[in-house]
Amino acid sequence: MSATIREELHQQIDRLPDDIVEKIANFTRLISPEPNDIPEYSNWQDEDWQKFSLENSIKKMIQ
């Protein structure tokens, strides 16, 4: 992912209301594999998953 796309995603995420951010993150966690099934993500906190979920959700919306 280029720095420009990453910056655009961060800007879009920053403009979303908190309740929408939480709903998107919860939905993405629901359809994603369990964090414990992927060793490199086993130490991620909720905030890390929310950021990851939002970046991927918005990336798909932009495409």
Give the global pTM.
Answer: 0.43
51: amino acid identity, one letter: K
Decide if 59 contacts 13 (C-beta within 8 A).
Answer: no
pLDDT at position 51 is: 84
Asked if residue 56 lies in contact with residue 29, where contact means CB atoms within 8 angstroms, the answer is no
Tens digits of per-residue pLDDT, 6-57?
Answer: 888 788 888 888 888 888 888 877 887 765 565 666 677 888 888 888 887 8
Q: Give the CA radius of gyration of the chain.
A: 12
Q: Is 43 helix (H, G, I), strand (E, B) or coil?
A: coil
Q: Which domain holds residue 22?
A: 3-62
Number of domains in the chain: 1
